Amino acid sequence: MARTPHGAVRGRYERGIAVFRGIPYAAPPFGPLRFRPPEPPEPWAGVRDAGAFGPTVPKPPYSEAFAQYLSDPVVPGDDCLNLNVWTPEPGPGARLPVLVWLHGGALTRGSSAVPVYDGSAFARDGVVCVSVNYRLGVEGYGLFPDAPPNPGLRDQLAALLWVYESIEAFGGDPGRITLCGQSAGAISAGVLLAAPRTQGLIRRAVLQSGAPEVLDREKVRRMVRRMAARLKIPATAEAFAAVDRELLLRTQAEAGRLSSPVLGGPAFGIVVDGDLVPGDPLKALTEGAAARDAELLLGWTRDEYRLWLVPGGLLERVDRLGAVALAGAMARCHAGHDVPRGYRTLRPGAGTAEIVGQMVTDHLLRVPLHRLADARPGASYVYEFAWPSGLPGLGACHALELGFVFGTGDAPESKKLAGEDAPQELCDAMHAAWVRFVTTGDPGWAAWDARRPVRIFDDGGPGLAYGPRDAEVALWTAAPGLPEPPHTAVPRAPGAELAAAMRRLRRSVGALRR
């Protein structure tokens, strides 16, 4: 049993680990609290059972093409702003390091109940692990004239404050909190790290396949307007709150089909709000005083884009579109012709899909994470996950490293993405590095400096490389004007033809999620 500010909870011992699931950190975000910032939960009398995962937030299911690789369980109920705790030693006095996990899913899918995120291995190694549910999609990141922005991010802040105030009762040290996330969870962790209201709460941060960013407000408004047009209602929080919840989810899924990490389009995301997010978080972390002493662990997978393009045969479709797809990627990344020419020079045998995928990966992830590591006075550690999935075509794709980080590679949900026979030695090495970082601030390899050391996690065990992505990053920062190989000119499509082809391509990749 453990006591929280709102009441006592009783968990379960599972293989020597105390597990508490479904603990409310905020009130159900419905009724008068719909689209509003989180409020504290109602206190409860007696001891609340915390043996099962709590309700998950409203979200549409993955498309069939993605569901074969990614699991996303649904637990019904309104009390969805809850969290889970795995601890080896409940009760005050242990003062163990704490990892707070923010799941990915493009801010539209995912939950803390995904079995890949089981925190038992961290607890066995002396780390208190906390995983969090937060509002998603239009409920968490819709932008309305009659409601505050970023309620999903505010949920995450409320959960972080709960951890700071409550974690001693579960054996954790509130002065040793590491905020960790992957994909959209990493973006969120980076934004929170930069937020003035979190200063002093976060000791360290892990950003896996996501860099701090905010979206243009108009881009988010366009997504809301798309939904409103389909529903034939005003684009206001009041009108959206009156819509049946299941209909709202179906409409959100339909409106989001034309958006993707590869070609952009309207999407839900974090926006500058003048309050929790006063400005560009990447700029705050690289140029300001935000969390300057926090140690950072930053990284990506070698073939991030393959999870975006392989499901449903989209890789082949992008290859067939050729120049049009390349022009779309250039527009998506605001890149001139020197950039794709440089990639062709570096990868002379690559198809269009690989060039497009690597360009978008570098633009979204590697370039800003390099910039973050370069600018930080505190220690930064950089990794690349390079082990290829056993499933055809996926390579070392987005989200593949998660089973290795959590030590859950044997779970069926991890095997959906990794296949059978993931190397246990690699799993042990990667999980141990995260444990060391959360515990000491040093994952076990050289900190980032002018040599740009990157830990490569691959089949033969982890090794260290120096500047392995420097050539690609230089294409974005120096515009070197590399010589154009004879066969690599980037054709220009006529405006009307390009626009029509881009619409066809967006329809093809509509199910993609970062």
Block residue for tokens 């006591």: 3
The reply to whether 431 belongs to the active site is no
Mark whether 304 is an active-site residue.
yes
CB 292 within 8 A of CB 376: yes
Environment class of residue 150 by beta-carbon count within 10 Å: exposed (0-12), middle (13-18) or buried (19+)? buried
Of 176, 209, 210, 217, nearest in space to 192 by CA = 210
Cα distance from N-terminal residue to C-terminal residue, the chain: 38
d(CA 327, CA 319): 13
Count the alpha carbons within 13 Å of 47 in the hemisphere toward its beta carbon: 10
- Whether 131 sits among the annotated catalytic residues: the reply is no
Half-sphere exposure of 431 (CA within 13 A, CB side): 25
Catalytic residue among 120, 131, 183, 380: 183
b or e along 310-334 (b: 16 or more beta carbons within 10 Å of the residue's beta carbon)?
bbbebbebbbebbbbbbbbbbebbe
Name the percent of the chain in helix, strand, coil, to the closest 5.
40, 15, 45
User: CA 267, 273, 275, 281 torsion: positive or negative?
Assistant: positive
**Dihedral pair phi/psi, residue 491, rounded to 5°:** -65, 155
d(Cα 156, Cα 382) in Å, to the nearest integer?
A: 25
Chain centroid offset of residue 108 CA: 11
Which member of 398, 401, 431, 472 is catalytic?
398
- Give the 3-state secondary structure of 224-284: HHHHHHHHCCCCCHHHHHCCCHHHHHHHHHHHCCCCECCCECCCCCCCCCCCCCCCCHHHH
- For 104, the 3-state DSSP assignment is coil
Closest CA to 403 of 431, 438, 432, 445: 431
Specify the DSSP class assigned to residue 371.
H
What's the rounded Cα separation, in Å, for the pair 153 and 250? 23
Catalytic residue among 304, 354, 413, 472: 304
Collapsed DSSP state (helix, strand, coil) of residue 205: strand
Q: Residues near 3 by Cβ (< 8 Å), separated by ≥ 6?
A: 9, 169
Helices (H), 322-364: 323-333, 338-346, 352-361
Q: Tell me how far CA of residue 463 lies from CA of 123, 274, 452, 456, 457, in angstroms.
A: 26, 43, 14, 5, 7
Active site residues: 183, 304, 398
